[in-house]
Amino acid sequence: MKENAPHKFKLKKEDTVQIIAGKDKGKRGRILKILRDKDRVIVEGANIVKKAMKRRNQQDRGGIVEVEAAIHSSNVMIVCKKCGPVKIGFKIDGDKKIRVCRKCGEAL
């Protein structure tokens, strides 16, 4: 693999994840966006930062707004409905590869 090349993500958009490091440690939220080239994810309601926004049109309000910033993918863990935050394993089901919980084996 090339230096700093984006790797394959086990996480997907709309997955529920828990933050395991940083200022928002312990918070849970859905993944809104995955930035594969930077190995980062944007989680709903986590890592809120203030950003100065320019007014785009007449109705739009400019000024300082709060938006979610990206978090490195290593600082989040997927949440299993039974077990909580877990690592992801894979099982081959026929011709499909499915993601499973490493603790209980349930499909994620």
Beta strands 16-19 and 76-80: pairing type?
antiparallel
pLDDT in tens, 37-55: 888 999 999 999 999 988 8
64 touches 53 (CB < 8 A): yes
**How far apart, in Å, are the Cα atoms of 18 and each of 13, 21, 43, 56, 83?**
14, 9, 9, 34, 12
pLDDT in tens, 15-26: 899 999 989 999
pLDDT in tens, 52-93: 988 888 888 888 989 999 999 999 999 988 888 888 888 888
**Residue 4 in this model has a pLDDT that exceeds 70:** no
What CATH architecture applies to the domain 16-81? Roll (2.30)
Residue 89 has phi, psi (to 5 degrees) of -115, 175
